[in-house]
Each structure stands twice: as structure tokens, then as C-alpha cells.
Amino acid sequence: MPTTTWVIFYGLMGLTTSSLNCPTEKSHPVQFHLVRQCQRALSEDALALENTSSLEECANLAHEMRGLALNYAPGGPKRRKNLYDQRPFGKESRKQQHIRSRLNVFEQPGEFFNCHVLQCPQNHTFSGMVNDSRFDYYSLYGRPSGWYTKVSCIPEVGLFVVYTQPSIYLNASLTCTNSSEFTGSLAHVASEARTNSLAQWLQVFNRRPQMETNIFLAYVGLVYNSSTSLSPLDFRNSQQESLQYILNKSIQITSQELSNASCVALTPQGTWQTLNCDRELPFICEIHTARPVSTWEHSHSELDIGPNAVFECRND
């Protein structure tokens, strides 16, 4: 049967909205959590390097830039100097000073900026951390000690795990939501930016050495169900948010037919394909950000004290 191509627009509003959830900016609150004290993550690919007057201002900048983690130096008498910067005396010290003098400000951000907005958080190894008593490290995802080893970060988007072993949609969804390694769900793709970013990620995945099977279709978190959907194009995510609210630009969907339950798979070309939910396919899980807390600026609920953590410095 030939496929049909649909182009969905935001203006599909001739429906009753009584059973739909309409997402707002407060639907999915996110918050940066203190993960490491007296350390900063390397920031060669930082989204922004700035001087801010407070942690809250730095966090707001990170939200604006879609950063997933940040370094912040609170300042004050006890945090003004890096206690771990042990510079030797004599010729070697002068040599080190000469090297430093040839670096520009962006090559030594710890010396000039107190707010570093980062593309991605550190994984469970914290291999990209530097001891620096002036800084603390924060992440939207909190402490990563339980993360699955094959987590991939898509900068400015989120953390994802791809499962190459095919599964029907229901089992794929349960694998994501019931994982002992992370808290998550099938990947949220209902925006042009997310669709394109995940599609590009699949392209990169398929260019890897052929130790794993290439992925040409992967289940994501969108499904049509005739018992709950209000129109043939009313696809819902796991929060029961409808496409008619989420989409702000056109996205192409291909389908052979729309059955009573049709699930969405993503292609590496950035299109969605609707399929019978009993078809077995690879799938993509998305790791959720850590749960917000009311006193986030002083909360240690996500503080990591594992290997290579340090405790010698304290906030004022």
C-alpha cells in the first residue's frame, strides 16, 4: 500500500480541549542541583562564559541558553582563591607564568568568569572535573551515579539511551519507565528542534563501527489511540499533551494507515512514521531531569561524594 504523507500545522484548533493537557512553561519545571563542591567541569565547549551577580542569575542564563549544567563561583573571602592551584617556585614558576600570559581569557575561564554554562553534564566517572575551590558544579540531572553506561548527551537537548534490541511499543515504554539505571520515558520529540537533533544523533550512531545494528526506525514517545484521541492527528506524549498544542512548525509524518493504536517511530531523516504498535523496533529512552526542590540554592540532596570528590572548601 502506498504511503501517505501528512504535514501537521499548529493551527489544528477546531477540537474540543476538555480531555487534553495544554503544556505551559511550568508543566515541566527544571532546576539546577548542586552535584560537586570545590570543583568545576571543563568548559572548552561552554555555551556561555559570563560574570553574574548571583547563582540565580547564572542559572537563569543557563536556562536561556539551554545549558544542561553549569559551574558557578560564589565568591567571598573563603572562595576567592583556588586552594588547589599549587604553583611551584623558581624557573618553573616563571615558565608557567609565561604560558599563562599567552592564553586568552576564554582559554582560562576559571580566572575571568564566575558563571560557565555547559552543553552537557558529567557522567558517573566525573572524568572532566578540575579541583578548583572557587567553584561549585551544578546539573539539571543531579547526581549521575545510577546512570546507564551508554547514555548519550545531545547538547542543549538532553540525555538519551538507545536500545538496539527490537521491542513492541508497550515493552519499549515499560523499559524506559521501569529502568533501575535512570528515571525516564520514551523520548519526547514533539518539536522541530528535538526531532532534528535526535535524527542527527541517529545518523551519527549509524556511522559508528558496525558493532551494533544500524537504526532506521526507532520508537519515540508519541502514540495515537482511538479511544482517547480527538482527531486522526491527535497524537499524545506520555503526559497526554497533544500535538495540536506542542507543534509550532510543520513536521512530516508518513503512514501506511492509522489503526486503532498507532505509534510513532523516528527516522534518521527527521520524519515521523506511524506504525502498528505491535511491530518490534529499536527505541530511544530519555532520562528525566532531577526532581525540583524548594530550597535549591542550598540543597545537598543531589551532592555527589564518590571518587575524586573534594570537601576542603565551604561556602561562606
Q: Quickly state the pLDDT bin for 224 (edges 50, 70, 90).
A: confident
Residues of the chain above pLDDT 70, percent: 71
User: What count of residues does the chain have?
Assistant: 316
Mean pLDDT (whole number) for 11-39: 60
Q: Judge contact between 272 and 222, C-beta under 8 A.
A: yes
Q: What is the pLDDT of residues 164-185, one digit of tens each?
A: 999 999 999 999 999 888 889 9
Residue 96 reports pLDDT greater than 60: no
Taking all residues of the chain, what is their mean pLDDT, rounded to a whole number? 78
Q: Which of 208, 264, 216, 213 is nearest to 236 (CA)?
A: 264
Lowest mean pLDDT among 15-24, 72-81, 261-270, 281-290: 15-24
**What is the reported pTM?**
0.80
Q: Above 60 in pLDDT, residue 92?
A: no
Averaged over 183-209, what is the pLDDT?
Answer: 90
How far apart (Å, rounded) are the C-alpha atoms in residues 10 and 235? 13
Q: What is the pLDDT of residue 17?
A: 39
User: What are the extents of the domains in the chain?
Assistant: 4-27+147-287, 33-143+293-298
| CA–CA gap between residue 252 and residue 270 (Å, rounded) | 8
CA distance 123 to 164: 21
The mean pLDDT of 274-286, rounded to a whole number, is 94
Alpha carbons within 13 angstroms on the beta-carbon side of residue 181 total 16
pLDDT tens string 229-270: 666 667 777 777 777 655 544 455 565 455 556 899 999 999
3-state helix, strand, coil in the chain (%, to 5): 20, 30, 55
Q: What pLDDT does 55 receive?
A: 96
Give the pLDDT of residue 293: 83
pLDDT in tens, 98-153: 444 444 555 556 678 999 999 999 988 888 899 999 999 999 999 886 665 688 99
pLDDT band at 226 (very low <50, low <70, confident <90, very high): low
- 3-state class of 281 per DSSP? strand
Element holding 193 (H helix, E strand): helix 192-206
The winner for highest mean pLDDT among 6-10, 19-23, 109-113 is: 109-113
CA gap 284, 128 in Å, rounded: 26
Which CATH class for the 4-27+147-287 domain?
alpha beta
Residues 227 and 189: beta-carbon distance below 8 Å: no
**162: pLDDT strictly greater than 50:** yes
Model confidence band, residue 193 (pLDDT cutoffs 50, 70, 90): confident
